[in-house]
A and B are shown apart, each in its own frame.
Chain A
Amino acid sequence: MSSHDRDHEHAHAPVTNGGEPVAAARARALEELLVEKGVLRRRDVRQMVDWLVSRTPADGARLVARAWVDPHFKQRLLADASAAALELGLDTGQARNVVVVENTQDVHHVVVCTLCSCYPRSLLGPPPDWYKSLPYRSRAVSDPRGVLREFGVELDDGTELRVLDSTADIRYLVIPRRPSGSERASEEELAGLVTRDSMIGVAQPANPSQADSG
Chain B
Amino acid sequence: MTHHVGERVRVATRDHEGHHRTPGYLKGRIGTVELVHGSFANPESRAYGADGLPEQPLYLICFDRYDIRPDERAHARDRIYADVYEHWLEKVNEQPRP
> Do A167 and B23 have beta carbons less than 8 Å apart?
yes
Q: Is B9 an interface residue (CB 8 A)?
A: no
Q: Is A50 an interface residue (CB 8 A)?
A: no
Interface size on A, residues (CB 8 A): 23
In the bound complex, how far is the Cα of B23 from the Cα of A26, in angstroms? 26
The 8 A CB mask of B20-59 against A (1 = contact, 0 = none) is 0111010000000000010010010000000000000010
A167-B21, A168-B21 as given contacts; A144 in contact with B78, CB under 8 Å: yes
The 8 A CB mask of A122-160 against B (1 = contact, 0 = none) is 000000000000000000011111100000000001111
> Do A170 and B73 have beta carbons less than 8 Å apart?
no
Selected contact of A114 from candidates B25, B40, B60, B73, CB within 8 Å: B25
A142-B69, A145-B75, A146-B73 as given contacts; A168 in contact with B43, CB under 8 Å: yes
Selected contact of A163 from candidates B60, B79, B85, CB within 8 Å: B79
Q: Which residues of chain A come closer than 8 Å to B97, judged between CB atoms?
A: none
A167-B82, A167-B83, A170-B58 as given contacts; A161 in contact with B77, CB under 8 Å: yes
Residues in B lying within 8 Å of A, measured CB to CB: 21-23, 25, 37, 40, 43, 58, 60, 65, 68-69, 73, 75, 77-85
